[in-house]
Structure 1
Amino acid sequence: MLKNQFVLFWECVFGPKLYQTYPLVPPSPTRQPTHLYIKNTTETLSDIVFLVFKILLGIFQTICPLCILYFYYKGSLTYENGILLLRLSSCMIIIPIYFMLLRGISRFINPTYKTFINEFSQVKCNSTQKTRQKLLTKYDFSLSHWKPDYIIQSSTIRKLPMISTSEKNFINQTEVTFIERLFHYPSLLFGYICVNVFGRRLMFPGSLQIIRHMTNRALLDGRTNLIVSHRAKRYILRTSDGNHIDTIFVDRRIIDNRQTLIITCEGNAGFYEIGCMMTPIEAGYSVLGWNRPGFGE
């Protein structure tokens, strides 16, 4: 008994986030929703700490090369400073571990999460298509711990036209002078920094944490409407390059006997939960919606 409780606590520590329990009938917009998962104060505080650490880690990964160059020119890359940095890093690691255990305790004493994590563990042990879909139609949770339903093993490789097959000719045609060769790699480093700092975020603003935070309730309501009202099924696809795509499928072949499938594609800040999926659904078609990697979760 004690061993089972310890295993349950361990799963609460490392388990996925729970967002809501899907109701049996569509919720009324005029009433206070009761199907949303209510966190206690400790779990909410822990999630905020993890979010701050995630943001700081992203900033550190971006500016780390520049910091190394700066301290190198200042002559600060010494053994003593390395030991100091190691001690500071050790102290910083203790903080997320502490809040991870604190969040696990908060989940462990929450009956809603305990029920969810029990069913989640049972599905992991007995993972069939039927049990997986049963859990996905009952709970809305973070899919970062969820194995993909379909894996794309191969992909079509598109070869871009080359300037020259010879490396020497390639260098001569693209970097004519010594000055251009000298500034070639610094410009690549600068481009890498620009892409990782703001380039990807400008191209795909839907992946920004602030956008997901602002649209969180709308995304939850959208998924609830699709799964409860339209009996949609959710699947995770893993592409050949390792990205995970969140998809949802509304099958109308049995109801309306229509064999046409509509695949909806949202913009760079759009989500299938609040996008254009409802238009073909209301027209009676089967619809497949999908979110770009990093969107919605």
Structure 2
Amino acid sequence: MSVPQLVLWFRCVFGPKLQRIHRQPEQNPAERNVTTHAAGGVRERQGLPYQPRSLERHTESILSWASFLWSVSYYTSPLVAFYLYRKGYFCMSKLVPVGQYAATLIIILFGVACLRGIGRWTNPEYVQFITILEETKKSQTPENKKRLACYNFDFHHWPVDFSWEKVSSRKTKTNGVSLLKPEPKYRGSADSMLSSVSKLPCQIVSYLIAHSFGRRMLYPGSFYPLQKAMMPMLIQGQIRLVEEFGGQRAKLLACDGNEIDTIFVDRRKIQGERGKKIVICCEGNAGFYEIGCMNTPLEAGYSVLGWNHPGFAGSTGVPFPQNEANAMDVVMQYALNELGFQLDDIIIYAWSIGGFTATWAAMSYPEVSALVLDASFDDLLPLALKVMPESWRSLVTRTVRQYLNLNNAEQLCKYQGPVLLIRRTKDEIITTTGPEDITSNRGNDLLLRLLQFRYPKVVTGEGMQAVREWLSASNSVEEASLYSAYEVDDEWCTSVLQSYQADQSKPFPWCVGEDMKEGRRQLALFLARKYMKNFDATHCTPLPPYEFQLPWTL
């Protein structure tokens, strides 16, 4: 074997798993209607799954099982270690044979990987792919990146397309890492040394809870076995986005070193005014852009940018709040500096827990065009207390506030632009008592916090009571009946707000309604109806494209 062939075999041994070869149509699918013509139309070449040869297929299966078992053993290691300790296996005479067995197993798996490399090395399709990948890593020319985009493979090997370092950071730096906001601290008074020592055990327990099952309960999509089970659906979703909609995948490097998996569908040339707007989508706690909420604005005709949370699918890291904010920041910078959109072209759309990164982005980039929050909540703490034992209240409060502080309402109130909240009337996830009690939906609290901040003289007293009554309506008929009973005049409400805006021209909060003797309830109901719309569905029902609307603006 010559030296070049040896190098090629070495690359095949440690190269990524190739899953599919995308066959691009002669005409970009993003610039036409996605229709297959039997004759006389656009001639399409469908993508094909990569066909490994027998040796590669069998060895890949062995290594995949080994990876899965390693993942399971990692998550169950505390229980296994406790069991072995109780059985007396933690002694030198028994640990040495275990170590020898593990070393033998590693050597065997390495041999299997070498055999897999031989199988790849003898497959012309894989050799062509690995050659293109290496060329792209050396020189990321547009032509090389276009050739590489024809392949679907393990995204960890994808070269970085955009880094936060490409733009001058407006944030302060600490130890080489740009901090977007201070880490949330537990809200308490200054502690004495003795008090700090006495609280140390609780702080250690909070840390362990947050970094073990707490984070995985909050973001189950980061759980590797779940991702493994969902992988066929994720691959199919990715195929659809790339081959039908012309999606462009990109790897973004955040300031904390995490690599963020993104996909962009460009509609600027074919969808008129809608296509010129870009919707940046923030997925839920078990959502991925391949099968998540980005399909809603995509089918509605907008340009769309989707991304996966840290630790989800192709993204690296873990989804703690600071990492989430760092990821959202580099996504925003990518849209502005690489894709060429302006801030007033950007609409931020979030579903469920994605409301945290969406409100953070709106707070940090206040010139964005609009914010749409679907099935989101005001604060994580009430929902965390709902699922944990009452005796854990103090510990849960400390853990959430210090490590998992998703304070959506607080961030939302720092954004001055148009906002639309979508409430699911049968939501079973973000209610504190059950889906049958719509008054316990935390989306209600998000709306009230926003209205109280923006219109404090209107949403107070009788105005607040009217809004709460409106929020308790379980269907559109009850809403309309209440609206009619209070004799809300939309034209009068609009004229009052426009008159105040023309006279004052101040940012929120507004003092409109301060001298109002009558009409406060009507104005409060008008505002509630403009800022929130109901969708008669459960939490996880996909939002239809016709339900995706831009927020009301005065």
TM-score (normalizing by structure 1): 0.79
Change (3 A) 1:56 1:217: closer
Contact 1:149/1:236 (CA < 8 Å) preserved in 2?
yes
- State the AA in 1 paired with 2:308: N
Contact 2:14/2:117 (CA < 8 Å) preserved in 1?
yes
* 1:116 correspondence with 2:116: no
Other-structure match for 2:258: 243
Other-structure match for 2:152: 140
> Which of the pair is proportionally richer in helix?
1
Q: Secondary structure at the match of 1:255?
A: coil
* 1:261 correspondence with 2:278: yes
Percent identical residues: 35
Other-structure match for 1:225: 240
- State the AA in 2 paired with 1:204: Y
Question: How many Å separate the matches in 1 of 2:100 and 2:226?
Answer: 36
TM-superposition CA deviations, 1:74-93 (whole Å, max 9, x none): 66544333432321121121
Query: 1:14-163 residue pairs with structure 2 within 5 A?
Result: 14-25=14-25, 35-64=48-77, 76-128=89-141, 130-131=142-143, 133-152=145-164, 154-158=178-182, 159-163=184-188
Question: How many Å separate the matches in 2 of 1:73 and 1:217?
Answer: 40
Other-structure match for 2:291: 274
Question: How many Å separate the matches in 2 of 1:136 and 1:165?
Answer: 56
Question: How many Å separate the matches in 2 of 1:236 and 1:205?
Answer: 22
- State the AA in 1 paired with 2:66: F
- State the AA in 1 paired with 2:4: N
Give how far 1:268 is off: 2.2
- State the AA in 1 paired with 2:156: S
Question: How many Å separate the matches in 2 of 1:78 and 1:229?
Answer: 59
Contact 1:133/1:234 (CA < 8 Å) preserved in 2?
no
TM-superposition CA deviations, 1:205-247 (whole Å, max 9, x none): 4344554455444433332332233332211123333332211
Contact 1:201/1:208 (CA < 8 Å) preserved in 2?
yes
Structure 1 unaligned spans of 5+? 176-180
Other-structure match for 1:7: 7
Q: Does 1 or 2 have the higher relative contact order (CA < 8 Å, sep 6+)? A: 1
- State the AA in 1 paired with 2:16: P
Change (3 A) 1:46 1:208: farther
TM-superposition CA deviations, 1:11-30 (whole Å, max 9, x none): 110001111111123796x9
Other-structure match for 1:169: 195
Give how far 1:139 is off: 0.9
Contact 1:136/1:234 (CA < 8 Å) preserved in 2?
no
- State the AA in 1 paired with 2:303: S
Structure 1 or 2, whichever has the larger Rg, is 2
Contact 2:24/2:47 (CA < 8 Å) preserved in 1?
no
Structure 2 unaligned spans of 5+? 30-34, 39-44, 165-176, 315-554
Question: How many Å separate the matches in 2 of 1:248 and 1:190?
Answer: 34
Aligned residues: 285
Larger mean CA deviation between 95-104 and 158-167 belongs to 158-167
Contact 2:19/2:153 (CA < 8 Å) preserved in 1?
yes
Question: How many Å separate the matches in 1 of 2:209 and 2:5?
Answer: 51
Question: How many Å separate the matches in 2 of 1:3 and 1:263?
Answer: 47
Cα RMSD (Å) of the superposition? Answer: 3.5
Contact 1:133/1:233 (CA < 8 Å) preserved in 2?
no
Change (3 A) 1:78 1:276: closer
TM-superposition CA deviations, 1:17-63 (whole Å, max 9, x none): 111111123796x9x96611122343333333323323333344445
Question: How many Å separate the matches in 1 of 2:86 and 2:226?
Answer: 39
Give how far 1:257 is off: 5.1
